[in-house]
């Protein structure tokens, strides 16, 4: 049993089956078999934005079939052209800040096995390259239909949507006091004044 992150070879390759055996306190993600340590505990601003968005999403989806989850929550991803994989074959496990899942068949006792419909990542100074590059590519390959990147200090949200070629394109960039309109759920409109309020 692995009880400390230091017991692992950070240059090694691991699967979700390995991940399930780890019993240490540090939060990590598994990106194509490689261990990625997560940033330290989020800032107050990050958590405030996360809670504000969670409240908006929870209210909108209350009574609907889609479910909203906030980190820490494991999402197992793989290329969408592949079928559901066994634990030993899954090599990517992420913990998005927020996600919306409408196909409840993807949910099991450990989290989500497949692509959420919507993922939201809130950038922090320690993870912006990870979310803008690595996760952008992962979510695109996995077929996450809509991806929002929240920039707390700029008070903006960039909205990416998969196009017909299964590539992300920027749908819109919302700032400050704009009303964000979700692409997948057009009735979901969020006043960003409420999101970015301190």
Each domain of the chain, given as residue ranges in start order, spans: 40-196
Q: What is the pLDDT of residue 127?
A: 65
Of 155, 175, 173, which Cα lies nearest the Cα of 48? 155
- The mean pLDDT value for 94-123 works out to 96
Give the per-residue pLDDT at 140. Answer: 94
Third-level CATH fold of 40-196: tt1808, chain A (3.90.1570)
pLDDT in tens, 170-181: 999 999 999 999
User: Is the separation of the CB atoms in 159 and 120 below 8 Å?
Assistant: no
pLDDT at position 33: 92
Question: Six-digit token pair at 10?
Answer: 């950070």
Could you report the per-residue pLDDT of 11-59, keeping only the tens digit for each? 999 999 999 999 988 889 999 999 988 877 788 999 999 999 999 999 9
* C-alpha R_g of the chain: 17
SS3 label, residue 129: helix
For residues 48 and 13, give the distance between their C-alpha atoms in angstroms, rounded to a whole number. Answer: 35
Residues β-bridged to residue 174 = 157
Peptide bond before residue 3 is cis, with ω within 30 degrees of 0: no
- Asked whether 174 and 157 are in contact (CB, 8 A), the reply is yes
Percent of the chain as helix, strand, coil, to the nearest 5: 25, 30, 45
Residue 83 in this model has a pLDDT that exceeds 60: no
Distance CA 71, CA 93 (A): 12
């Amino acid at each position: 049993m692995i009880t400390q992150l230091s017991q692992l070879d950070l240059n090694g390759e691991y699967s979700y089956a390995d991940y399930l055996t780890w019993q240490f306190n540090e939060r990590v993600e598994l990106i194509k078999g490689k261990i990625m340590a997560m940033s330290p505990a989020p800032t107050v601003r990050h958590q405030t934005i996360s809670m504000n968005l969670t409240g908006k999403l929870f209210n909108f989806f209350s009574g609907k079939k889609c479910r909203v989850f906030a980190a820490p929550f494991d999402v197992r991803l793989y290329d969408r052209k592949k079928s559901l994989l066994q634990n030993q074959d899954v090599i990517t496990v992420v913990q998005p800040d927020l996600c919306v899942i409408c196909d409840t068949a993807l949910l099991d006792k450990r989290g989500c096995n497949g692509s959420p419909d919507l993922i939201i990542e809130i950038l922090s100074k320690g993870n912006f390259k990870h979310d803008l590059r690595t996760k952008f590519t992962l979510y695109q390959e996995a077929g996450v239909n809509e991806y929002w990147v929240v920039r707390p200090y700029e008070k903006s949200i960039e909205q990416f949507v998969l196009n017909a070629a299964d590539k992300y394109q920027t749908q819109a960039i919302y700032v400050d006091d704009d009303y964000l309109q979700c692409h997948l759920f057009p009735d979901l409109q969020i006043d960003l004044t409420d999101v970015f309020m301190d």
